[in-house]
Amino acid sequence: MSNPCWFVLLLLAAWLGHFAMMVASHNWFYAKPFPRLVGDLVQLFHVILGFLGLGWVFQGVWILSFHQGNSWPDSLAETYSLLAILTALIGVPWFESKRWRLKHSVSINKLETEKKHWPSSWAGEKMAWRLPGNQSLFLEIRTIELPVENLPLWLHGLEILHFSDTHFGGNDKRSYFENLFNEASKRTPDFIFFTGDLVDAPEYLSWVVPLLGRLRARRGKFAIRGNHDFWNLPEEVAKSLRRAGFCCLGNGQVELDFGNGNMGSLLGNERPWNNQVNQVEAAGNSQFTILLAHTPDQAVLAANQGVNLAFCGHVHGGQVRIPFIGPLLLPSIHGRLFDHGFYKIAKLIMHVSRGIAGGFPYRFNCLPEIAWVRLVEGKKGTNP
């Protein structure tokens, strides 16, 4: 195979496959419960290996294209290049088709969005704030009517406010959160769910009660902690949430009594950062189960356990979303499968929030969000 055109085509395919494998490897490893420093080293390793690998793949494709022997591939570079080409031609299309099917697995009846922007003078700020296109001080308020099959009559019309990943300190602009939670406090839902990563530094715990304490719910406010919370005095995070009126679930559960013998269960899951065994007995008379998990990586387990509805965060929608492609880097063992929105796995419906902030204060084509979700009986609707 000595045609230069073939060489160029194979090289492009190999580079695409190499890039896809590096992204998948990064997402898988970065989803593990490493200490923060180790996670940063994982990111750095993949960046270096990704760029160095471009030259290595060039060498392998060159040998494959112009090799005159009969025993190829006979080097590691050639073998890896073949693997990268197969990944590009088979693995990437297969994964993207699966991702597309999951993205369209849930229909909704209504979706209303309202966008807010609270600009700030970024002169003299750290570089991340001043990067072009930064949307970190925007907010998208999503109002969703969610059809749920076999929804008990006593849950029809149940309203939930879901938000995640405030990262107080990563976004260190108090005025932004003042405006955000003023907006969120204008409505009183049945439940408020917060799914982790409250703070990025312990000194920002002083923000929790003044900001989250202004939220009101008819039936209760519930929260779990995320990986950043376990890196920043997790017990103090739990205390701050309780002082703000939230029940901090941990890996436990509470029974929800809706009256007239109608019972539901609300489960917490802080794994893999909190692997404490749940000491609470499962509610045998529960007719509907809701899960709060920081990461969508718990979704398959939840579906296998018969959970009906799950709320997650952690992945921030990728923070940087490339038009027509979506996010590349998400800390999930499932890679880019569950980036944001609604997904159906068996009988489970999961909502993954894009979150409000991040440890690195930059967003592009990925607005921070809070979501108002109203449950209705399952019917065909339009997909968000």
- Dump pLDDT digits (tens) for 155-168: 999 999 999 999 99
pLDDT exceeds cutoff 50 at 382: no
**Is 384 contained in some domain?**
no
Mean pLDDT, to the nearest integer, of 338-343? 95
Q: Is 344 found in the same domain as 250?
A: yes
367 occurs within a structural domain: yes
Question: Which of 39, 72, 102 lies at the terminal end of a domain, its last residue?
Answer: 102
* Chain centroid, CA 114 distance in Å: 21
The last residue of one of the domains, among 56, 84, 102, is: 102
Mean pLDDT of 364-370: 96
pLDDT reading at 130 higher than 90:
no
User: To which residue do tokens 């609300």 refer?
Assistant: 266
pLDDT (tens digit per residue) in 203-239: 999 999 999 999 999 999 999 999 999 999 999 999 9
In this predicted structure, what is the pLDDT of residue 257?
85
Q: What is the pLDDT of residue 283?
A: 41
- When divided into structural domains, the chain yields a total of 2
Whether residues 95 and 116 fall in one domain: no
Name the nearest CA neighbour of 310 among 318, 300, 319.
Answer: 300
Q: Report the alpha-carbon distance of residue 371 to residue 113 in Å, rounded.
A: 9
Each residue's pLDDT tens digit, 92-114: 999 999 999 998 889 888 889 99
Q: Helix (H) and strand (E) counts for the chain? A: 10, 15
Are 42 and 136 within one domain? no
Q: Judge whether 244 lies within some domain.
A: yes
In a domain, 306, yes or no: yes
Q: Which two tokens stand for residue 375?
A: 């449950």
pLDDT tier for residue 123 given thresholds of 50, 70 and 90? low
Residue ending a domain, among 59, 87, 102, is 102
How many Å apart are CA 213 and CA 221, to the nearest integer? 10
Mean pLDDT of 345-353: 94
Contact criterion met (CB below 8 Å) for 226 and 250? no
Which residue type does 198 have? Answer: L
Calculate the average pLDDT of the chain: 89
- 93 & 216 share domain: no
- Residues 170 and 309 reside in one and the same domain: yes
Q: What is the pTM of this model?
A: 0.91
Residue 268 covered by a domain: yes
Average pLDDT estimate for 319-332: 92
Alpha helices for the chain (secondary structure H):
4-30, 36-66, 76-86, 92-103, 127-130, 174-184, 208-212, 227-230, 234-243, 299-304
Evaluate whether residue 382 is within a structural domain.
Answer: no
Average pLDDT over residues 5-25: 91
Write the pLDDT tens digit of every residue in 52-93. 888 888 888 888 777 655 555 667 888 899 999 999 999 999
368 lies in which domain range? 108-377
Q: Tell whether 61 and 198 lie within a shared domain.
A: no
Q: 381: pLDDT confidence band, cut at 50, 70 and 90?
A: very low
Q: So what's the pLDDT on residue 137?
A: 94
Residues 169 and 306 in one domain: yes
Across the range 293-319, mean pLDDT stands at 93
Sign of CA dihedral 303, 304, 308, 310: negative
pLDDT at 277: 65
pLDDT digits (tens, 9 = 90+) for 274-303: 987 654 444 445 789 999 999 999 988 888
Asked if residue 337 is part of any domain, the answer here is yes
Look-up of token digits 């108002």: 372
DSSP conformation class of 187: S
d(CA 19, CA 52): 11
Res 280: pLDDT: 41
- 115 lies in the same domain as 55: no
Measured distance CA(373)–CA(109) in Å, rounded: 11
Check whether residue 147 and residue 286 sit in a common domain.
yes
Residue 230's nearest CA partner among 89, 73, 35 is: 35
Residue 26 domain-assigned?
yes
270 within 8 A of 250, measured Cβ to Cβ:
yes
The CATH number assigned to the domain holding 115 equals 3.60.21.10
Q: What is the pLDDT of residue 290?
A: 94
Whether 97 and 233 map to the same domain: the answer is no
In a shared domain, residues 140 and 188: yes
pLDDT of residue 259 exceeding 90, the answer is no
The whole-number pLDDT of residue 284 equals 47
Confidence of residue 187 (pLDDT cuts 50, 70, 90): very high
Residues 85 and 115 in one domain: no
